[in-house]
Amino acid sequence: MAEYVFKMKKGEIEIELSSDDAEFVEQQLAKWREEILKKQG
Amino acid sequence: MATYRLTIKRDNISVQVVAKSGALIAHEMDRYLESFVNRKINSKYTFAKKDVSQNTAAGQTAHYGAQSAAGENTSGGTSEFYIHNGEQINITKEQVSTRTLEQAAPVQQQDIAPVNTAPDSRQYEQKQPEDYLHEQREQGAPISLKDFLVSNKATDVFSEFIISAYYIKRVLNISHFTLKMINSKFYPITNALIDLSMAEEARTRGFIESLDEDGVIKYTLTPAGESYFINQLRG
């Protein structure tokens, strides 16, 4: 079984999401990407 | 059944939430997303796929506990363990090696945009993972500190302090508190601060005990303090 890991790091803070539910991780990743691009745009 | 794991690390403290429910993890992720993005983040993120079969159950725990040290982790140990609504929350203290700190420093300088200086972002900077745990306890508490103070016989700031200490210990089930932690709840309600002299008075009277934990002074209500609350202050 595969496990999917999404890791984000800013300075001293690190957030890591991991799951064997690929769809869930994909959704979270998309949400984070969208929010970050929206804020930085 | 799928397993979901969220790990938040800062300095040498790590908070890990393990759940069988994706909704819980998604909710927690959303909270961090808001705080993170509001800091004008210039993030560095990775998406990786790995073979779980290489890890035993015990190996996975060790693996996740060790990642903030970039593979350099040493003798980390679990300091607290809770069961909350059937989910696991681990708080693990780690010893981060010097090499890890040296590696982390350039990342901070090169990849990170100037930090937003708005008040909310400053508050986020100061928040520790245990603060989020305390917030969760407060949200799940059957009564707020404000209502708890009102429903008991507080006559002065000192008695309010003892009532608050009882609330933290018996309602929130948090065994120890710092002055910073209790004041963060106490001040917005009472507009008064609990200072060292008041804590010392309570300690002298045997109502609280103090201990030094890694240079941080923490307090806990003693049985005598609980008796004082029950016999003198309880409404």
Across chain B, what does the average pLDDT equal?
68
B162 phi and psi angles, rounded to 5 deg:
-65, -40
Alpha-carbon distance of B175 to B183, in angstroms, equals 16
Q: Please list, in sequence order, all residues whose beta carbon lies within 8 angstroms of the beta carbon of residue B228, skipping any fewer than 6 positions away.
A: B162, B207
Chain A / chain B CB contacts < 8 angstroms: 119
Query: Which conformational region is residue B140 in: left (phi greater than 0), alpha (psi within -120 to 50 degrees), or beta?
Result: alpha
- Are the beta carbons of B157 and B198 closer than 8 angstroms? yes
Instruction: Flag whether residue A37 sits within 8 Å of chain B, measured between CB atoms.
Output: no
Instruction: Flag whether residue A3 sits within 8 Å of chain B, measured between CB atoms.
Output: yes
Residue B208 reports pLDDT greater than 90: yes
Average pLDDT of the residues in B175-188: 88
Average pLDDT of the residues in B120-148: 71
Residue from B5, B18, B64, B131 to probe the interface with A (highest A Cβ count within 10 Å): B5
Query: Buried (b) or exposed (e) across B20-31, using 16+ Cβ within 10 A?
Result: eebebbbebbee
Q: What is the pLDDT of residues A1-41, one digit of tens each?
A: 688 888 888 777 888 888 888 888 888 888 888 877 776 65
- Are the beta carbons of B111 and B44 closer than 8 angstroms? yes
Instruction: Flag whether residue A21 sits within 8 Å of chain B, measured between CB atoms.
Output: yes
Q: What is the pLDDT of residues B48-59, one digit of tens each?
A: 544 444 443 333
Average pLDDT of the residues in B118-128: 48
Residue B40 reports pLDDT greater than 70: no
Q: Which of B201, B207, B200 is nearest to B169 (CA)?
A: B207
Give the DSSP letter of residue B151. T
Look up the ipTM and state it: 0.83
Domain map (residue ranges) of chain A: 4-40
**Residue of B74 and B141 predicted with greater confidence:** B141
pLDDT of residue B160: 92
Q: What is the pLDDT of residues B57-69, one digit of tens each?
A: 333 333 333 333 3
Average pLDDT of the residues in B85-100: 41
